[in-house]
């Protein structure tokens, strides 16, 4: 049974990658984890405010986490529903950190057989030779970049 990790920011451009994953898994069987990564820069900002109390910092971090989860659901919830209606087992995941690092870590932790990415996501162009090489060198599995 194939396990695919779909890394996506929910952009219109990512829709092609989403459709590819659904079609592949309908044909071959398996499951998909749709992963959205929230960059932690905003969280870091809340921690370095010298005037904020510890309680304010914790409140801010909880707020950012809730926003990240809501954003993930808003961006990728439709894909998960489309996948499930097509008979594909789909899960939704959200992680915080540097997007490439988190996608690769999630693929490793979940035993993914393949990572599928749109050509552009999280402000990065995965088709550039430098980034494609970094992905291939670091990935625990096959990577497909939908051009």
Domains of the chain, earliest start first:
2-39+73-145 (3.40.50.620)
Give first-to-last CA distance, the chain, whole Å: 25
Beta strands at 30-38 and 89-96: parallel, antiparallel or unpaired: parallel
- Residue 43 confidence (pLDDT): 56
What number of other Cβ atoms are within 10 A of residue 88's Cβ? 20
Tokens 């914790």 -> residue: 58
- Residue 90 confidence (pLDDT): 96
Taking the chain (147 residues) in runs of 10, the rounded mean pLDDT of each run is: 92 89 95 88 59 76 80 85 95 89 95 95 88 88 91
- Residue 64 confidence (pLDDT): 76
Interaxial angle between packed helices 129-138 and 99-109, expressed in degrees from 0 to 180 and rounded to the nearest 10: 30
pTM: 0.83
């Amino acid at each position: 049974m194939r396990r695919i990790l779909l890394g996506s920011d929910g952009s219109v451009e990512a829709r092609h990658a989403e459709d590819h994953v659904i079609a592949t898994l309908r044909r071959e069987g398996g499951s998909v984890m749709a992963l959205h990564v929230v960059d932690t820069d905003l969280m870091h900002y809340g921690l370095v405010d010298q005037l904020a109390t510890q309680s304010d910092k914790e409140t801010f971090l909880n707020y950012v986490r809730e926003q990240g989860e809501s954003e993930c659901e808003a961006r990728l919830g439709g894909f998960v529903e489309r996948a499930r209606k097509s008979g594909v087992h789909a899960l939704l995941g959200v992680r915080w950190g540097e997007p490439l690092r988190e996608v690769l870590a999630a693929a490793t932790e979940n035993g993914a057989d393949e990572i599928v990415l749109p050509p552009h996501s999280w402000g990065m162009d995965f088709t550039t030779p430098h980034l494609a090489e970094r992905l291939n060198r670091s990935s625990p599995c096959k990577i497909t970049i939908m051009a």
